[in-house]
Homo-oligomer: A and B are copies of this chain.
């Protein structure tokens, strides 16, 4: 079938993981594969990283953990959200590690571990500055500390709020708070660095790092050249070529006018596939090295491109165009969409076929 396709280069994912592991001096590096590995396919990415030596995997929700567990019966899976009300039995049954974010969750999991010897170790998450999810630093007092110490736990986690800006004073402030937490909980393995924090001095990383975005080719830093390999290539089938008889408008609301003789290419990809509608008129499509300006509004299932600069012979032979590739990367699309690379990838919908290359 001719359909919009996301080609995922698993070798590039592994290369990005190894690059970050080197920044962590070759020490333990895990992987964040939540949101279906940012839309690229959690099962395939996880399998590739297992082969590369990755041992711990983080997802956002229980539902994501169960999808992964169904295909990978033995890997270590942590759930950032932790066990919500009535979810605990699934964590026990499927051998999933909850992240403890609240005192209530701490008490519940302590009781569960007491009653179920097979309930797994929890990770303790301290919110050191996001004010989003996790224990408050001020929660680390008696009797809570005693409860944490009696819990079977392995990781002590936090999440940097501003690591993409390496110069932000918030990085040091959060790290200082975690050093105090470490003194109170010296038995835990620390796990601090997201992708961006790999570029901070090594002491900020913790023992185990947990990159996400950079694995998938997203530049994790605000003001630095991109060092990651491109992972994703998004293609769309060419549905129609049209040469305008006369000066005419294109698309909904007749927002764009093109001169007679213009060649319009209609491609089978639109905002229901995850091409943001805000990108209308600012996007490009590529046929080989030819760069085609997108024209008219991005519609639900189609986008049009001005193919006037492409030689007729090349145009007649082409069957697809590329929207996301090494010429228009996830970071470029982020600027065009006025968002971040993460959302560019997670927007790519399930209507788009996934294809894996090594």
A170 within 8 A of B: yes
The reply to whether A131 and B249 form a contact with Cβ atoms under 8 Å apart is: yes
| Residue pair B132, A254 in contact (C-beta under 8 Å) | no
- Decide if B254 touches A129 in the complex (CB within 8 Å): yes
Which residues of B have CB within 8 Å of A339? 271, 277-278
Pick the residue among B60, B63, B130, B268 that contacts A1 (CB under 8 A).
B63
Chain B residue numbers with a CB within 8 Å of A264 are 131-132
Within 8 Å CB of A164, what residues of B? Answer: 253
Instruction: Report the contact-size class of chain A (Cβ under 8 Å from the partner).
Output: 35 or more
Question: Is A182 an interface residue, CB under 8 A from the partner?
Answer: no
Q: Looking at the assembled complex, report how far the CB atom of A34 sits from the nearest CB atom of chain B, in whole angstroms.
A: 6
In the bound complex, residues from chain B placing their C-beta under 8 Å from that of A1 are 61-63, 84, 87, 90
A132 x B86 contact (CB < 8 A): no
Chain B binder among A111-119, A286-294, A295-303:
A295-303
Q: Mark A71-94, 1 if CB is under 8 A from B, else 0.
A: 000000000111011110010000
Q: Which residues of B contact A109 (CB under 8 A)?
A: none
Stretch from A22-30, A146-154, A346-354 contacting the other chain = A346-354
Report the Cα distance A38→B299, complex, angstroms: 12
- A340-B277 in contact (CB<8A): yes
CA distance A346 to B350 in the complex (A): 11
B136–A242 CB distance below 8 A: yes
Q: Can you add 20 more A-B contacts, CB < 8 Å, to A34-B300, A278-B338?
A: A1-B84, A2-B87, A3-B63, A35-B300, A60-B272, A63-B353, A84-B268, A101-B240, A131-B304, A132-B264, A138-B245, A162-B252, A162-B253, A164-B253, A165-B253, A272-B346, A278-B278, A300-B343, A300-B346, A349-B349
